[in-house]
Amino acid sequence: MSPDIAATALAAAREAAAAAAEVIRHYWRRGVEVELKPDATPVTIADREAEQAIRKVLQAALPQASIYGEEFGLDGERGDLLWLVDPLDGTKSFVRRTPFFSTQIALLDGDELVLGVSSAPVYGETMWASVGHGAWLDGVRVGVADTAQMAQASISIGNVKTLTADARWEALGALIRDSNRIRGYGDFCHYHLLSRGSLDLVIESDVNILDIAALAVIVREAGGVFTDLDGAPPTLDTRSVLAGTPAIHAQALQRLRR
């Protein structure tokens, strides 16, 4: 992808996230009715209208790219450029009036994640990154901490329900015992905190690529390492996350390997 196309794509992703934020804020103020999808997860008019707003911007700016969204799936056949869109990641939080939800927009060029925008309109911050150009929080460049020892590390745990039945559960417990402190910020929030140096490791075992694609680019461009729990880079099939400072990630991966 040429530098011009990359710049256009990042600008479009930021504009699309801002358009979605307007929709989300509108429904956050007035409230919404909740429906259930076939998989029993909630969806609202805010999810659908936010994705429509995102698609309108992305299609106009980069018509050669396909879009795969949480609410409306893949538009046509996949090309080399593929947008990954979750218009309202954290719908359960949204409907319970908890501000830990966000809009996630990432771009795949072939098999490489090349940019990401993570917008949390009610929480009040937006992060973005593109390969080779660093990670940014509301216009200020950010980076991960230099924490190198587990005894000084702050760990955040997201959704780890399936990990409770995994052989690695005891290893996770030992890891937590050896750390400085444990929190559970969840969703976009702990990745934002990691990227700006406020914590050192994020662990999740139950994710979807649409939840974390943009955040993977942001964490990496902030100087962190972002893999699944087996150390593999994120793909469309990724279901778990191990993200952290380089030293802490390496130590955690060694201890959690099956």
Locate tokens 């359960």: which residue?
Answer: 92
**89 annotated as ligand-binding:** yes
Residue type, 107: L
Cβ-in-10-Å burial (0-12, 13-18, 19+) of 99 comes to middle
In angstroms, the CA 115 to CA 248 distance is 24
**88 annotated as ligand-binding:** yes
| DSSP H or E stretch at residue 193 | helix 187-195
Q: How far apart are the first and last CA of the chain?
A: 37
Contact 150, 251 (CB under 8 A): yes
Contact 84, 71 (CB under 8 A): no
**86 annotated as ligand-binding:** yes
Locate tokens 């902030």: which residue?
Answer: 222
Contact 95, 118 (CB under 8 A): no
**75 annotated as ligand-binding:** no
**111 annotated as ligand-binding:** no
The SS3 of residue 232 is: coil
Joined together, the tokens standing for residue 180 give 């400085």
* Residues placed in the known binding site: 70, 86, 88-89, 211
Which residues are annotated as part of the binding site for Mg(2+)?
A: 70, 86, 88-89, 211
